[in-house]
Chain A
């Protein structure tokens, strides 16, 4: 299962990355190597194995509905590249 240059560009676009032609070729090769490596697993017969998402075997990990102190507004906004007194600022989103 090999992926195409078009798919690399599509994935880049979904991740909001702009790639140069060189980068596209680098990632194409790297991604295909990874897929080839993972394809090894296809040789195993897994028809009788349930798909699993976790190896821990835990279930129902819950918390009570109890309030915990939030960050202050100032702390919350601290890392933001652009902000005013109350809000994160982003380039205008036009719908």
Chain B
């Protein structure tokens, strides 16, 4: 058996931190990066006799996500204690959900190279985060910061329906985009607001039974989702091809070496002894509540993509890129005025605008160029006032100064030269300076045409109308060729 005869079966478990101001069961702040152990109270550090009370927004955020991901919202759900000991878990149990999660089923649609792929969800449930253990500073001790303990999370579990590392990373990107549109999670993977564990197994192509899986923990970037799963698939293939067996285990993705390492074997299998949380009352969600929350949903990226493709005739690629972030989509839509060609706007946004934003590390809503100002620039190109090449430098100036295109063009004298006489003169000058090349052109080296056009554009400081330059250069060279 060779490696191409295997197929991978991948399921993801994603933890998303809910964007609430306070923790799940107490009023402590959820702000990231504060002084260690400065955001705790008797409830989240597990003092005896305290009573947790559910954060209303956290609950609504999960229902909102469930609606957006086509889940069935449970009319009745409850919380459970998951019991285990670890220093970052002050109570000795985590409040989570077990047999009755808030959301069940659902799916997310991916547009892959092989067409549409619908990835099913198993469930979305709520749980509280643990604190943070720091291991690096000492050989003898670990240090515990409980600021994060009790932060509300939702765990999104997919069906094992993902087949490639690329699909897994695409799923994560799409999910992040939806969560950000909904305003329920900031999606910041570096700060750990969005984390992902991957269950990976392989089986012979065509086989229906699942192979033994390994769970890869704590993958914290899109790039690593892909790399970690890719590595793990390769590792499992090598084990099987060598006649070995896959062991069910938890593995940790090691960024430094680019491999997954066995973490703990299932010998010390966990026995979480889930039982219903007696301190929290069940959650009852009526259809009315669901509909009220549904009404607050924004237009989601998937619907925007459809609209951009159908109504604005954009390629799927453009539509996905422009709708990935809500602010980008908003910018695009605000630019669609004065009969501008949507594809022209899209090209400018995906090209120059995104490049400059990235270079300056600037979010689009802080951009000095307004959408309407971009349409003015596009109109000036369409009218032939400036060339496409000049437009790029004008745009950069707009980006840096916030000035409008027309002003910059006037100020710098960038208006396109479109009168025949002026261009003729420049072309003549170029020809006189490069008689050798003219000879070679006449000798059959027609690709030198590009050289002449380039020289003319250079001499005119990019202002000559390129189409006219092409015509005149060709006419002159060919004319001279036939003259003799």
Contact B28 A70 (CB under 8 A): yes
Contact A91 B141 (CB under 8 A): yes
Contact B55 A87 (CB under 8 A): no
Q: Which residues of A77-92 are within 8 A (CB) of B? A: 77, 82, 84, 86-92
Contact A67 B252 (CB under 8 A): no
Contact A72 B38 (CB under 8 A): yes
Q: Please, how many angstroms separate the alpha-carbon atoms of A65 and B252 in the complex? A: 35
Q: Please, how many angstroms separate the alpha-carbon atoms of A70 and B29 in the complex? A: 8
- Residues of chain B with a CB closer than 8 A to A87's CB: 36-37, 134, 143-145
- Residues of chain B with a CB closer than 8 A to A34's CB: none
A53-B278, A53-B282 known; A70 vs B38 contact (CB < 8 Å)? yes
Q: Which of B37, B56, B134, B276 contacts A65 (CB 8 A)?
A: B56
A interface, over-half SS: loop
Contact A53 B78 (CB under 8 A): yes
**CB of A67, distance to nearest CB on chain B (Å):** 5
**CB of B135, distance to nearest CB on chain A (Å):** 7
- Residues of chain A with a CB closer than 8 A to B27's CB: 63, 66-69
A68-B26, A71-B42, A86-B37 known; A56 vs B138 contact (CB < 8 Å)? no
Q: Which of A56, A59, A67, A73 contacts B29 (CB 8 A)?
A: A67
B140 at the interface (CB under 8 A from A): yes
B471 at the interface (CB under 8 A from A): no
Q: Which residues of A11-31 are within 8 A (CB) of B? A: 14, 16
> A26-66 CB contact bits vs B (8 Å, 1 = yes)?
00000000000000000000000000011010111111111
CB closest chain-A residue, reference B268: A13
B58 at the interface (CB under 8 A from A): yes
Total A-B residue pairs with C-beta atoms closer than 8 Å? 123
> B28-46 CB contact bits vs A (8 Å, 1 = yes)?
1100000111111110010
Contact B278 A61 (CB under 8 A): no
**CB of B182, distance to nearest CB on chain A (Å):** 16
Q: Please, how many angstroms separate the alpha-carbon atoms of A94 and B133 in the complex? A: 11
Q: Please, how many angstroms separate the alpha-carbon atoms of A77 and B284 in the complex? A: 37
B54 at the interface (CB under 8 A from A): yes
- Residues of chain B with a CB closer than 8 A to A60's CB: 281, 283-284
Contact A90 B142 (CB under 8 A): yes
Q: Which of A61, A69, A82 contacts B53 (CB 8 A)?
A: A61
Q: Please, how many angstroms separate the alpha-carbon atoms of A76 and B45 in the complex? A: 8
Contact A88 B146 (CB under 8 A): yes
Contact B142 A91 (CB under 8 A): yes
B interface residues with partner A (beta carbon < 8 Å): 20-22, 26-29, 35-42, 45, 53-59, 78, 83, 85-87, 133-135, 138-146, 252, 263-264, 271, 273, 276, 278, 280-284
Q: A14-B83, A76-B38 are in contact. List 9 more A-B contacts (CB 8 A).
A: A16-B85, A58-B281, A61-B281, A63-B27, A68-B22, A70-B38, A70-B41, A90-B141, A91-B142
A interface residues with partner B (beta carbon < 8 Å): 14, 16, 53-54, 56, 58-73, 76-77, 82, 84, 86-93, 95
Give the 7 A-B residue pairs with the shortest CB-CB distance, closest first. A68-B27, A87-B143, A65-B57, A53-B276, A88-B144, A62-B56, A86-B36
Q: List 24 A-B contacts (CB under 8 A).
A: A16-B85, A53-B278, A54-B282, A58-B281, A62-B55, A63-B27, A64-B56, A64-B57, A65-B20, A65-B55, A66-B22, A67-B22, A67-B28, A70-B40, A76-B37, A76-B45, A76-B146, A86-B35, A86-B37, A86-B145, A88-B143, A89-B142, A90-B143, A91-B140
